[in-house]
Amino acid sequence: MNVKNFIVGGIVGGIVDYLLGWLLWGILFKDSFPADESQMNMLFIFLGCMTMGFFISYIFTRWAHISNAMTGAKAGAVISLFVSLFHNFFMNEMELEPDLKKMALDIGLMLVSGAIVGAAIAFVNSKMK
């Protein structure tokens, strides 16, 4: 595994994920995902985004050797699809009537975000060969 690619790709992926989260959940779909900003811990949100960036970067550099942006987008979308399904199923497991439209929107947004993060990490990998 190329450790330099893993670290740089993870940082870039995490920052891209953070910015996309701010844009998608914080601005464009804010009404669908209302949040009490006084309760939000931005450090944990940032660390979660960095974790996702490093997770995808690890898979790309350690196992899949992905360095093509289109392949990265596809792989990032698939990884994010499974992560978002996992997340949404467990976040709604105790709801009597889960909001299926909100779940589907969140899954779709995570899929788009994951595709862009995957493309960014693969692009970085291609430039660092």
Q: Is the pLDDT confidence value at 128 over 80?
A: yes
What average pLDDT does the structure give for the chain? 96
Tell me, what's the pLDDT at 98?
Answer: 94
Q: Which band of pLDDT confidence, cut at 50, 70 and 90, is reported for residue 38?
A: confident
Global pTM value: 0.95
Residues in the chain: 129
d(CA 107, CA 101): 10
Least confident of 32-41, 60-69, 89-98: 32-41
Percent of the chain with pLDDT over 70: 100
Q: With contact defined as beta carbons under 8 Å apart, do 92 and 103 qualify?
A: yes
Q: What is the pLDDT of residues 69-107, one digit of tens each?
A: 999 999 999 999 999 999 999 999 999 999 999 999 999
Taking each helix axis from N to C end, the angle separating 69-91 and 42-58, rounded to the nearest 10 degrees, works out to: 130
Q: Is the pLDDT confidence value at 129 over 90?
A: no
